[in-house]
Amino acid sequence: MQKRSEVKVEETWDLTPLFESEQLFEEAIEALLTKASDIEQEFKGKIKSAQDAVNVITAYQTLYEALIPVGTYSSLSLSEDQTNDESQLRSAKVGQNFSKISAQLSFITSELLLLDEAVLTEAKGLAPQFEHYIDNLIKKKPYQLHPEAEKALAAFGTTFDAPYGLYNTTKLVDIKFDNFEVNGQSFPLSYNSFEGDWELESDTEIRRAAFAAFSNKLRDYQNTTAKTYDTHLKIEKTDSDLRGYDSIFDSLLFDQEVDRELYNRQIDLITKELAPHMRRYAKLLQKEHGLDKITFADLKISLDPTYEPKISIEESRKYMNDGLSILGEDYQNMLDRSFEERWIDFAQNEGKSTGAFCSSPYGKHPYILISWTSRMNEVFVLAHELGHAGHFYIAQKEQNIFNSRPSLYFIEAPSTMNEMLMANHLLSNSSDARFKRWVISTIIARTYYHNFVTHLLEAAYQRKVYEIIDGGGSVNASILNKLKREVLEDFWGDTVEITEGAELTWMRQPHYYMGLYPYTYSAGLTIATQVSQRILNEGEPAVQDWLKVLKAGGTKSPVELAKMAGVDITTEKPLKDTIAYIGSLIDQLEALSEELAVENV
């Protein structure tokens, strides 16, 4: 694994649009501290009228917009290489200063909520652009603490975020994987190489040996990681109790603007009704690869690995343009800019964050992190992250900073939509049975397995964890391992052998430090599946509806956004239809495999 200084510059992102120099970055922090003090001096204790409310929100908006590039620059610098001392210290400094500013300005929310609701309604009339912001404030009023308590909690912001930082330090800095051996040959191992290559390796002996070596190393750190996670959970529970929520679930779902019915439906229905389809897929993998048994370590392999092409970064650009062209000229311009202006960090290097993500700082262009392996499945990963980028690229043109970001429940709909559009494009451009089987298997193995199985089973496990915490309990490595294994065995039944080490997969996921996030992948993909079918059947009218949804940003609830796109998520029908669609894809895979087997006789 190369060091960050050794990778090709053209495969890295360019952070200079955020700050051209470290000096400008430092000056921006000082300016923020000065601005925060000015706002405190001008407004603290003086917010009495509707016009005062508008004035302080306007001042806060300006500060908030200046905070974003500072936080983004610090975060992305650390994500590209967690081993970099300068990035670690920069991140710590930003965290400390942001906590200071947050504590200093906590009076804004407290004083606004002390106003009579009629005054706040008047403020919305004076400044309609702040209506959404004020409405959200009013919703939080029952859970608002005394101003001094809010200030104290805000001051502890960095401390409360510490478990996530500790998790990443353990995972990306301290854990060092040894090479593993198969038949006398040594192979290198790291987090990124395992999740990007070895987990997908077609050679069964190498793949299973990599899984064993990877799991054995994780096991060495399970107790520290579990203690870190338990600390994070206790912070969430304490906050929920202090604010008077009925449960930790209600606390975490509050900002998502959905209730526990929608949350539980995703987990319960998929666990029950998708499992039989995915077990058929697992058996198909076993048959096509001639495996004596199929284990947890085998579930990520390609159905037809000899057919899967290697894709260069430049070739991926053509796939993006062709597959997503249906979204219009402005969207294509965004795609071109993302490559030409180095919005995307493709490099593989030591200390880089695992997986992939998109950061979309308001007022700047989005940034995407991915570790490019040249495997075709990375085309779908890149399309996914560009879905996030396109969403915020469009929303931020239309909405102010308070209105641009939708509920977490909806956040994965635009990303998974791009995966579906890419699949639709590939399927429509070939009638070859082997190619068609390869595309459909990629949809199952990447899009649906990742979002409807991996993340959904994380959500099922996470729910069990939160039930323990909500009841006043604690968790340790033994409990977390037991819960994870139970969830995996329940879903896969007797079809898949849950390999020793599979129970440790809870250690790999940073989403557990982001509230009730994992289940939202399946929620977003449910919406995306239904809308992508509309686009296939109806064409341009459905596309225009979808673009209107993207433009709406966070001005509407998830239910309202889905309805704009023609999907009613208040019922279980979209989810049931999506599960049935997955089943139909597996039907096609089985039929195509039989057809190809006959041809090859």
Of 370, 372, 373, which is closest to residue 355 (Cα–Cα)? Answer: 370
Q: Is the dihedral of CA 412, 418, 423, 424 positive or negative?
A: positive
Element (H, E) at 180: strand 180-182
For 145, residues 6+ apart whose C-beta sits below 8 A from its C-beta are 153, 242, 243
Over residues 396-413, mean pLDDT: 95
Other CB atoms within 10 A of residue 404 CB:
20
Separation between Cα atoms, residue 435 and residue 424, nearest integer Å: 13
Domain positions in the chain are: 4-162, 188-310+376-601
Bridge partners (DSSP) of residue 344 are 368
Model confidence pLDDT, tens digit, residues 362-385? 999 999 999 998 988 889 999 999
The answer, yes or no, to whether residue 567 has pLDDT greater than 70, is: yes
Over residues 25-29, mean pLDDT: 97
In this structure, are residues 589 and 441 in contact, taking their beta carbons and an 8 Å threshold?
yes
Q: Does domain 188-310+376-601 have CATH number 1.10.3720.10?
A: no
Other CB atoms within 10 A of residue 549 CB:
28
Q: What Cα–Cα distance (Å) separates residue 262 from each residue in 41, 257, 259, 266, 522?
A: 44, 10, 6, 7, 11
Separation between Cα atoms, residue 450 and residue 455, nearest integer Å: 6
Give pLDDT, residue 308: 76
Model confidence pLDDT, tens digit, residues 499-549? 999 999 999 989 999 999 999 999 999 999 999 999 999 999 999 999 999
Two structure tokens written together for 404: 């641009």
Torsion of CA 78, 82, 85, 91, to 10 degrees: 30
CATH match for 4-162 among 1.20.140.70, 3.40.30.10, 3.30.470.10, 1.10.3720.10: 1.20.140.70
The answer, yes or no, to whether residue 599 has pLDDT greater than 80, is: no
**What share of the chain in percent tops pLDDT 90?**
90
Element (H, E) at 182: strand 180-182
Residues in the chain: 601
The answer, yes or no, to whether residue 352 has pLDDT greater than 80, is: yes
The answer, yes or no, to whether residue 126 has pLDDT greater than 70, is: yes
Give pLDDT, residue 601: 59
Model confidence pLDDT, tens digit, residues 103-119? 999 999 999 999 999 99
Separation between Cα atoms, residue 114 and residue 146, nearest integer Å: 10
Separation between Cα atoms, residue 554 and residue 173, nearest integer Å: 36
Separation between Cα atoms, residue 501 and residue 481, nearest integer Å: 9
Residue with tokens 């340790």: 476
Q: What Cα–Cα distance (Å) separates residue 263 from each residue in 246, 460, 510?
A: 16, 10, 20
Give pLDDT, residue 307: 80
Two structure tokens written together for 549: 């949804």
Least confident of 243-247, 354-358, 401-405: 354-358
Over residues 85-106, mean pLDDT: 94
Model confidence pLDDT, tens digit, residues 154-195? 999 889 999 999 999 999 899 999 999 999 999 999 988 899
Tell me what the pLDDT averaged over the chain comes to. Answer: 94
**What share of the chain in percent tops pLDDT 70?**
100
Helices assigned H by DSSP within 182-221: 191-196, 204-220
Give pLDDT, residue 377: 81
Separation between Cα atoms, residue 381 and residue 377, nearest integer Å: 7
Least confident of 236-240, 395-399, 428-432, 522-526: 428-432
Tell me the pTM.
0.91
For 481, residues 6+ apart whose C-beta sits below 8 A from its C-beta are 222, 503, 504, 506
Separation between Cα atoms, residue 509 and residue 199, nearest integer Å: 15
Q: What Cα–Cα distance (Å) separates residue 135 from each residue in 141, 254, 397, 472, 484?
A: 10, 14, 22, 33, 39
Model confidence pLDDT, tens digit, residues 187-244? 999 988 899 889 999 999 999 999 999 999 999 999 999 999 999 999 999 999 999 9
